[in-house]
A and B are shown apart, each in its own frame.
Chain A
Amino acid sequence: EAGVVQSPRYKIIEKKQPVAFWCNPISGHNTLYWYLQNLGQGPELLIRYENEEAVDDSQLPKDRFSAERLKGVDSTLKIQPAELGDSAVYLCASSLGGQPNTEAFFGQGTRLTVV
């Protein structure tokens, strides 16, 4: 069974440019998470989806970040425009339901470098 798939694996862009990350969760997983991980830090939640509904986006910087999960399966996270401080690893995770007793599985992440 395939795990959580993210692309691209690496991305280098100039500041002020837009960038998008794609995530395909484990088949059947209705809960999807986007996390941000800065160097030397633990991941921090950006947004959580239950099917196509964003149920927790309180940590998402909405001035430049947006996300969508139109059909309740794969998801896209976008930054426009990117800033130097956005350089980080963007992680996607999925779980079978968002209950506290269901494991969440992570993808390999997309490493973004803004120059």
Chain B
Amino acid sequence: DAKTTQPPSMDCAEGRAANLPCNHSTISGNEYVYWYRQIHSQGPQYIIHGLKNNETNEMASLIITEDRKSSTLILPHATLRDTAVYYCIVRNAGGTSYGKLTFGQGTILTVHP
């Protein structure tokens, strides 16, 4: 499984953009980058995913570098409710682990008033 590297923690001021980086230098050409977040005592919540192109939905934007070795999740206007653990995942695209989501340690994002 392709591994991801994320900073263990980040802070952001409420109303500002939160930019969460992720390195995935061993990603294969057909593997997708996924982002989930987990608020305390809840199950992981799907945010966004992408393959090559940048993606945007109602929650966030995903920027993937041209070489696909890193990506950035952008929360355009962070609120206190965005405080959570954010997981960057490279989703397996082959073999018996096809489609497997492998979670790492994630980034603890704290949004301050």
Contact = CB atoms under 8 A, between A and B. Distances in A.
Interface stretch (B58-66, B71-79, B98-106): B98-106
A42 B46 contact: no
B43 A106 contact: yes
B21 interface: no
Nearest to B90: A100
* Interface range for A: 20 to 34
Interface in B19-75: 30-32, 34, 36, 42-46, 49, 51
Contacts of B99: 31, 48, 95, 98-100, 102
A53 interface: no
A22 to B, nearest CB: 15
A65 interface: no
Contacts of A14: none
* Interface range for B: 20 to 34
A56 B100 contact: yes
A10 to B, nearest CB: 10
A100 B103 contact: no
B96 A56 contact: yes
Interface in A62-115: 91, 93, 95, 98-109
Contact of A100 (B30, B45, B46, B87): B30
B2 to A, nearest CB: 11
Interface of A: 4, 31, 33, 41-45, 48, 55-56, 58, 91, 93, 95, 98-109
14 contacts: A31-B99, A45-B102, A56-B100, A58-B96, A93-B43, A93-B44, A100-B98, A100-B99, A101-B32, A102-B99, A103-B34, A106-B43, A108-B42, A109-B42
